[in-house]
Amino acid sequence: MRNVLLIAELSLREALRKRLVLILLVLTALFVGFYLYGILRLQHALDDRAISAGLDVRPEGGRRGLTGASVAFSAIFGMYLVYFLGSLMSVLSTVGAVSGDIESGVMQSVVSRPVSRGQLVVGRWLGFSIVNVAYVALLSAALLVGVRVITGFTSPQPFAAVALVLVAVLLLTSLTVLGSTVFSTLSNGIGVFVLYGLGFTGGILSTIGQFAATPVLVTLGNLANTLMPSNALWLGASYHLQPDYVLRLNELARGANPFISTTPISAGTVVWALAYALLALVLAVLAFRRRDL
């Protein structure tokens, strides 16, 4: 265990040395500031319309109806961007976790030390998981708190939503580490993004199948979501971000929006995603033990 924590610490220091964390903080601050400025302008526009109509600018209990839905949708879309950026971060930061050291020749000197290959893989996974999870958690908090301060809108179950997004981040991190022990850095990045696209395609197919009452498309979508449940986790998160009046509005649209869901995610899907992430890590350890350097 000590070696695992040591490798994780070295991975964190490597991220700091490469200024990965600094770059992320700067870009994240720009993203959050830009997005919240848009929310602020939206809030000012809604306030002006309320004043013109002789209504309360900040009604007790918050805005409802179409004006309230516009704020809620803005918060939900902002969290979708957080999910997307977290997914991108999970792949790009981890894509060379093992393969990068092999290609640079550093791995030969590392494995000659009293550290097993399994400990190396788990330590790498742990270090990058800490970076990715912390990044998404802080980004989610900044966005949701910012929306709350500006508009007064609070998502019904923000902690449950963020937790599901973090599960997706862990899953993508584990799959990327697995690919890094088997493929080259470039091939690994392409492969994981294809899997990510598969999950997104599954959500689109399920939405079209439900809207058009086509069971075959729904089945294909469910199969894709099983093979790559990252998008299913986001859809589950989106359910917890919607107040009741937005849920009713989306139900009237018969689920025509592929980016949000009107039904909660099943416990089985969450368990499968966690088991999938653990299985990917185990396979990464086994694959690296067998790999010739």
Number of other CB atoms surrounding residue 139 within 10 Å: 24
Residue 205 — very low, low, confident or very high, per pLDDT cuts 50/70/90? confident
Query: Residue 105 gets which letter from DSSP?
Result: T
Nearest by Cα to 175 from 287, 288, 278, 293: 278
Identity (one letter) of the amino acid at 144? Answer: L
Top-confidence range, 10-14, 15-19, 135-139, 244-248 = 135-139
Question: Is there a contact between 284 and 124 (Cβ–Cβ < 8 Å)?
Answer: no
Band of pLDDT at residue 221, cut at 50, 70 and 90: confident
Length of the chain: 293
* Cβ 172 vs Cβ 193: under 8 Å: no
- Cα(159)–Cα(69) distance, rounded to whole angstroms? 20
Who contacts 70 (Cβ-Cβ below 8 Å, separation ≥6)? Answer: 42, 46
Least confident of 2-11, 144-153, 282-291: 2-11
Print burial letters for 246-281: b (CB count within 10 Å at least 16), e (below 16). Answer: bbebbeeeebebbbbbbeebeeebbebbeebbeebb
Structure tokens at 36: 């919240």
- Mean of the pLDDT values across residues 122-142? 90
Q: What's the DSSP call for residue 266? A: P
- In angstroms, the CA 293 to CA 103 distance is 10
Please tell me the distance from the alpha carbon of residue 114 to that of residue 116, in angstroms, as a whole number. 7
